[in-house]
Amino acid sequence: MLSSMSPSDLKSNNTNFGMSPDLDNHKSLRFFNASQADDSGISGYGVVNNNPFTTSASFQQVIKQNDGKGNDALLQRINRVVDSTTNSTYTNLFGASGIMTTANLQAEYKPYYFTNANFMYWMDYGIINLKYILDSIAKIGLVKKADLRLRMYVNTGAVQVTVQQSATQVVTYKSFKSSFSNTCPINVNYLTGAVASGGFDSTVTRITAGL
């Protein structure tokens, strides 16, 4: 579906489907070899493209080209999700004390994020036209009744990333394990800084993400 869309289709239709209006770009693309994996401040060794935010350094003329850039598509996907756990403390819009409670977000089919004990949950929604899944629907024309059976196979599993020096500006992502077959649909964003700034707790040593 994404590969068949033009840039204007992505802008006009993807938001309605609950997807990013842009595809992933190369701006935060990095390569770190095994020897560099011992250095601080890297988002994992190998080829990585998981920096969602542009750092302030990218506005300075003294740095290397593309240094400190973020992946715009990652940022757009993050912006879609409402933080129902902590967002109410500074916007007064979401959460138990805000205008939109978690129940309201569910009723409105708005993607939201919440925490429970040591687990973080992202609830997302997407609308995909049947014609993108079943090519016959696009060609069948108008019918009075349709008796169809839709069977979907979802690639599920879990990934684990080792974290060092969490809750600092020099967080390092180290080893990576995955139980997904073929392709992995999960991206673990590179988040630095203190907890108050959106960074990980200082006790975090691993990130395990499952679908």
Domain spans of the chain?
A: 28-65+153-211
Helices (H), the chain: 7-17, 72-80, 88-91, 102-107, 130-133, 135-140
Grade residue 63 by pLDDT with cuts at 50, 70 and 90: low
Is pLDDT above 70 for 37?
A: no
Mean per-residue pLDDT of the chain: 81
Grade residue 62 by pLDDT with cuts at 50, 70 and 90: low
Average pLDDT over residues 1-29: 77
Q: Cα dist. 140→132, 156, 197 in Å?
A: 13, 32, 52
pLDDT value, residue 208:
93
Q: Which of 47-61, 91-105, 182-196 has the lowest mean pLDDT?
A: 47-61
CB 71 within 8 A of CB 25: yes
pLDDT value, residue 73:
82
